[in-house]
Structure 1
Amino acid sequence: MTPPDAPHNRWSDLDRPPLNVAALRRGLLKPGGLWTSLDIVGTTGSTNSDLAARAPAGLAEGTVLVAEEQTAGRGRLDRTWTAPPRSGLFFSVYLTPGDVPVERWGWLPLLAGVATATALAQSAGVDMALKWPNDLLVTIPTGSGTPPGETPPGAERKTGGILAERAGDGVVIGIGLNVSLRAAELPAPQAGSLALAGAVSTDRETLLRAVLRSLEEWYGRWRDANGDAAESGLQAAYAAGCATLDRTVRAELPGDRSVVGEAVAIDSDGRLVLATGDGLQEPVSAGDIVHLRGAEGGLT
């Protein structure tokens, strides 16, 4: 018999109880709704990889896969995403917007960002911000005990990320959120968690239900508008919540090229538009964005 305090016992951290799959299914799987199945695994490498592997054989739209722990979670640019078991939400969904022109599918990760930030602001009671294209930011109050590192007290910190990948006839969207991570558990100085941001609730079932319901609502609006981000309100909502706009940033682009400029807009294709020092405007569709204090300043 495994001792109750064994490191991998599912009740070894009573502050982090396991998710209740039966309760989540009752609350989320409704006739005519977007979500068609929901499964929870104890440990997996990556929920995105798992769904992407299943997609070519045929995967129903609205499939949701949640992991209590990811050992090889992935972010953009092949970055890893790791956290203690049951300390966050790590899940992927499969969407098949076949009636929407493929050239508009690039809005899906931004849509997921708007949906997640909206849900967490309401259910966790924290101010959320979006860093283009797919990071979720919170502000950690001064005195929270987080290691200062390169990020000054009161600055924005990353508490979540989104990764969208084409698979089969659709798109797998993975969302990772740091929920109850303590200061000593943060993987990097720029990281944060909902708990450290003063969330009124860190109940993962409440948060997961809120995020999936918000995602269903925004996805429905977007599809009803045939993927038109302006008509669905998605473009305006993303711009309103985007912490990257109106700041000087450095865009690190493919091919070892970088551009410094002021982020002035999100265009109709979801690209970040930079106003550069030579008076030109350059749309950025892919790259790593670094928020700067000024054109020659350091990280914010």
Structure 2
Amino acid sequence: MTSPDAPHNRWSDLDRPPLNVAALRRGLLRPGGLWSSLDVVESTGSTNSDLARRAGSLTEGTVLVAEEQTAGRGRLDRTWTAPPRSGLFFSVFLTPGEVPVERWGWLPLLAGVAAATGLARSAGVDTALKWPNDLLVTVEGAERKAGGILAERAGDGVVIGMGLNVSLRADELPAPTAGSLVLADAVSTDRETLLRAVLRSLEQWYGTWRAADGDAAASGLQAAYAAGCATLDRTVRAQLPGDRSIVGEAVAIDGDGRLVLSTDDGLREPVSAGDIVHLRGVEGGLT
């Protein structure tokens, strides 16, 4: 008989049960739907890397979920680690072939809107978006990063990965600025419920955006992102490639998904890539 204390025993951590892949497939895979396959692995380095390596043989709508990521990646090659079964770590493969490639840059922002929408419904948590790819929750009155999104070109499509802290306790957080759904007083931390909600929301937003040929304004994506973006109307510092930085007020998300900064000299400068630091805002402080 297997010891009840075995590290991978189904009942070894009742607060963090494993995902039920059969139930997830029943709830998400359907004829005519976006999601074509769903697999859950116990541990992997990075679900994004795994799908990117297989991009040439994948069908659109492939979903790969990991109970644990040992080498999860964020933007700017940052690492993303968390205890096993403490969050959602997954990647999806999409092929928006008929959408002009110059509009594919909206996909990580679309994933952010989809995640925020899905989590509001399933977890009862107000999730804000920090441009371009962070998911923020409020913990004890302060904004904290609970998740991130990474989109990468792979073959003829895009791999979009998401990491979300669900049940991490305060002593498990990787940094003082991090948070989790449980610390944000989520009404549900059931990972299957959350994953189904986020993937269904992603399917809906992706379908609407694709039907509009990737036009973010026509699909409502641009307005939805702006409405949920915590970066807008705040003073920020944009750390740009080449060790250049800009400080200004974030005033808009333009039609290409860029963050528009208004600087002290009256110029408006669109930022397409960079690390953003929230300097001052309604709550004050640095994030």
- Say whether the fold is shared (TM-score over 0.5): yes
The residue that corresponds to 1:72 in the other structure is 71
| Residues 1:54 and 2:54 aligned together | yes
The residue that corresponds to 1:133 in the other structure is 132
Deviation at 1:9, TM superposition (A): 3.3
AA partner of residue 35 (structure 1): W
5+ residue gaps, structure 2, are none
Deviation at 1:2, TM superposition (A): 4.5
Work out which of the residue numbers 126, 139, 160 in structure 2 matches 1:173.
160
| Residues 1:26 and 2:26 aligned together | yes
Q: Percent of counterpart pairs with the same letter?
A: 88
The residue that corresponds to 1:285 in the other structure is 272
AA partner of residue 117 (structure 1): A
The residue that corresponds to 1:39 in the other structure is 39
Q: State the distance in 2 between where 1:107 and 1:189 align.
A: 30
The residue that corresponds to 1:100 in the other structure is 99
AA partner of residue 209 (structure 1): R
The residue that corresponds to 1:185 in the other structure is 172
1:260 to 1:50, Cα distance in 2 relative to 1, 3 A: same
The residue that corresponds to 1:124 in the other structure is 123
AA partner of residue 250 (structure 2): A
AA partner of residue 200 (structure 2): R
* Structure 2 length-normalised TM: 0.97
Give deviations 1:29-74, integer Å, cap 9, x for gaps.
0000000000000000000000000003x21000000000000000
The residue that corresponds to 1:232 in the other structure is 219
AA partner of residue 282 (structure 1): E
The residue that corresponds to 1:147 in the other structure is none
Give deviations 1:246-300, integer Å, cap 9, x for gaps.
0000000000000000000000000000000110000000000000027xx8514
1:298 to 1:195, Cα distance in 2 relative to 1, 3 A: closer
Q: State the distance in 2 between where 1:6 and 1:250 align.
A: 48
Q: State the distance in 2 between where 1:10 and 1:187 align.
A: 26
| Residues 1:156 and 2:152 aligned together | no
The residue that corresponds to 1:83 in the other structure is 82
Q: State the distance in 2 between where 1:227 and 1:91 align.
A: 23
AA partner of residue 17 (structure 2): P
Q: CA RMSD of the aligned region, Å? A: 1.1
The residue that corresponds to 1:218 in the other structure is 205
Deviation at 1:181, TM superposition (A): 0.4
AA partner of residue 194 (structure 2): L
* Structure 1 length-normalised TM: 0.93
Q: State the distance in 2 between where 1:230 and 1:55 align.
A: 30
AA partner of residue 39 (structure 1): D
Q: State the distance in 2 between where 1:118 and 1:131 align.
A: 15
Work out which of the residue numbers 228, 253, 260 in structure 2 matches 1:241.
228
The residue that corresponds to 2:248 in the other structure is 261
AA partner of residue 202 (structure 1): T
Q: State the distance in 1 between where 2:12 and 2:89 align.
A: 19
The residue that corresponds to 1:63 in the other structure is 62
Q: State the distance in 2 between where 1:5 and 1:165 align.
A: 39
The alignment partner of 2:111 has SS state of: helix
The alignment partner of 1:69 has SS state of: coil
The residue that corresponds to 2:112 in the other structure is 113
| Residues 1:272 and 2:259 aligned together | yes
Q: State the distance in 1 between where 2:77 and 2:13 align.
A: 30
The residue that corresponds to 1:145 in the other structure is none
Give deviations 1:81-131, integer Å, cap 9, x for gaps.
000000000000000000000000000000000000000011100111000
AA partner of residue 225 (structure 1): A
Work out which of the residue numbers 159, 179, 188 in structure 2 matches 1:201.
188
Deviation at 1:198, TM superposition (A): 0.2
The alignment partner of 2:11 has SS state of: coil
